[in-house]
Amino acid sequence: MFADRLFTVLAVDDDALFLRSIVRIFRGRPYRLVTADSAELALSKLAEQPIDLLLLDLRMPGRDGMSLLVDLKKLYPDVPVIMLTGFGNIALAVQAIQAGAADFLEKPCEAGLLLERIATHYRFWEQRINYPPDDCAFDFPGLIGVSPAMQRLKNLILRVAASDVSILIEGESGTGKELVAKAIHHHSPRQARVLCAVDCAALNESLLESELFGHEKGAFTGAEGFRLGLIRSADKGTLFLDEIGEIPLGMQAKLLRTLQEREVRPVGGTKSQPVDVRIIAATNRNLEEEVRQGRFRSDLYFRVSAVPLTLPPLREREADILLLAEHFLAQFDKTGRKRISEAASELLLGYSWPGNVRELENVLRRALILAESNSIIAEDLPATLVLEGGGRSVPAPADDSLAAYELLALRRALKKTANNRRRAAALLGIAEATLYRKIKEHGIS
């Protein structure tokens, strides 16, 4: 059942005209509005009553919105904040997102767009009230991992999915950037709509322009019919721009204009069409360095990287290697009889995986082809794994339970650090007290 109270929004802005316009916008809506014209008054309102969403102006006299945001995330970490910023302050808005804001809007913002963003948070508020927390947890089975790095990533995906803010996924090749984009879309309010993906590195400039923006009939030689384009195809859904760093500068300007104006003009067209699409981009390049070198527009970088997500390489996810190997084994072995021998497990764990999850997938596919029995043995693996990973001595788990893999991760971390528990805890990404407790639980001497 819904709570007896209304969804309550606190608007914090020193501009009295803006606050009056917010009051008009809220008339007839299923929300309750509270206003404050200063940071101090906002804190007082928060202490007096439950607040479900904040609209916070970035620039205010006295204490500004950024300073207030930092305290808000400490005092009220579960209350989402939408930052409001004047034109030209996108870089500051990005800083606000990194400090914990859920989203940002440029002022003056259209009433329809503001209400749309509020409605997104309202739906998630309803969900929290109607369903137990476990029902709202991460439930995308394709993203496999129990390591601390993957747990942090999954928690972050759940946080950013609720918003429409643009996301830049960074990471080495083979770490699963497209899979993360799918997980974000799956947990977002747009999950019932389409996710369109384009590999920006696979197309030349003219083909990429047509693929993204569409074209009118006769726009160029070979354009024998109308093409909608992926941006409009993803309307009300999500557009995934893989390897966005490969987009030529000229195309970057057109893409930036589309994102800013929320409308798209097809190649050869004279009219722009409105579009509502969430952008998730990915790159294995350092885009900040690309901006410094003049190969990527700084304004587009700020627009697409409101929330950056960095994927951990597989070498930092040791607890996940055998889980992933078993997953690929089950996926490729239609008989269901193949197993990974203890010696082969040792080699998998001892390798640094420069090609990450994609390389592990290919290794398992190859091993299944070469295996002459129901066990994948060391001889079925590439020579590089044997040369690099042959010196490990911690045994593989005897079963596929999470406890077994947790025990394995503990043993390997302690072995790597010569039983230095402080360093082992840091390697595992857990507190030292947690490590002591886990050692006691598993009976490790």
pLDDT in tens, 77-104: 888 899 887 755 667 777 777 778 888 8
Confidence of residue 135 (pLDDT cuts 50, 70, 90): very low
How many domains does the chain divide into?
3
**pLDDT score of 48 more than 90:** no
pLDDT tens digit sequence for 284-329: 999 999 999 999 999 999 889 888 899 999 999 988 898 899 889 8
Among residues 313, 277, 302, the alpha carbon closest in space to that of 168 is found at 302
Q: Kindly state whether residues 162 and 284 are assigned to the same domain.
A: yes
CA 111, 114, 117 angle in degrees (round to 5)?
Answer: 150
**pLDDT score of 133 more than 50:** no
Looking at residue 405, its pLDDT comes to 55
How far, in whole angstroms, is CA 299 from its chain's centroid? 21
Looking at residue 47, its pLDDT comes to 86
Token code pair at residue 38? 């200063």
Q: Kindly state whether residues 436 and 324 are assigned to the same domain.
A: yes
Q: Give me the CATH number covering residue 162.
A: 3.40.50.300
Q: What does the buried/exposed string (b/e) look like for 231-248 if buried means 16 or more CB atoms within 10 Å of the residue's CB? A: bbbbbebbbbbbbbbbbe
Residue 334 belongs to some domain of the structure:
yes
Residue 189 belongs to some domain of the structure:
yes
Whether the model pTM is above 0.75: no
Q: Kindly state whether residues 30 and 112 are assigned to the same domain.
A: yes
Residue 140 belongs to some domain of the structure:
no
Percent of all residues in the chain with a pLDDT value above 90, rounded to a whole number: 29
Task: State the average pLDDT over residues 399-420.
Answer: 69
Domain boundary among 310, 332, 353: 310
Q: Kindly state whether residues 306 and 318 are assigned to the same domain.
A: no
Q: Give me the CATH number covering residue 92.
A: 3.40.50.2300
Whole domain around residue 337: which residue ranges? 314-442
Q: Kindly state whether residues 64 and 183 are assigned to the same domain.
A: no
Task: State the average pLDDT over residues 177-206.
Answer: 92
Residue 138 belongs to some domain of the structure:
no
Among residues 428, 389, 388, 421, the alpha carbon closest in space to that of 406 is found at 428
Residue 136 belongs to some domain of the structure:
no
Q: Kindly state whether residues 162 and 272 are assigned to the same domain.
A: yes
Q: Give me the CATH number covering residue 413.
A: 1.10.8.60
Token code pair at residue 257? 């204009």
Q: Kindly state whether residues 299 and 321 are assigned to the same domain.
A: no
